[in-house]
Structure 1
């Protein structure tokens, strides 16, 4: 890993995944609100009860949206915190960020050049511990992405 660049990419990916989860949760809550409103309207016999069901649905939808926005703000703050924690500016002249070890950063796996290119065709990556599944190789012959 190369200092801030890689950790910010990981942080951005984690934030995106967390945001997708928050959005999915909010969508589920909105759907449940609509279904509950439909049931309550079917059970209601007077217009006031039907209006109350509609108002409750709108309230639940607004609450779900507010919770989603809060979660997204929290995810962005967590990413910024993680990025700031992994960034260690140096005052020494001539120090390259690639020369500085980041505490807790995983070293590239054996056979990995960590140069940003995809693996050479024919070489796959193993997923899982021990005898996991091998993913097919991607990229162009020679290992460079287009």
Structure 2
């Protein structure tokens, strides 16, 4: 398994953990009505900032764990060299993720024009960012597996 594929797999695992964390925390607060009222967006922003801090820690932990497990299982030193294939896979996956994010943002704008609330729009923006990151890592894994 190449360094790029291992990096994409650990990114995908991180994205999935963070998505579950965000869904669990924000859906509970939304269901409790924490984001209703004039202070709703401020509380939402504070909650998201705390979750971003947690997600950074999770990303670091998963990256370290991935490197340690790879070293233990294979006995190899990590080789983080990247070639044209790695850069091409990164570019293609990032392009597809940007398309997903761009069309999703267009949908949010349409939703706001039709009367959606600001908290719903912000939750959707956050979800789009998380999903496009997971989509990018999944696309990289698929492209590596296909030998693209």
Please classify the TM superposition score into its range, dividing by the shorter chain length: 0.3 to 0.5
State the TM-score, normalized to the length of structure 2: 0.38
Structure of higher CA gyration radius: 1
Query: Which of the pair is proportionally richer in strand?
Result: 1
Taking CA–CA contacts closer than 8 Å with sequence separation of 6 or more, which of the two structures ends up with the larger relative contact order?
A: 2
TM-score, normalising length: structure 1: 0.38
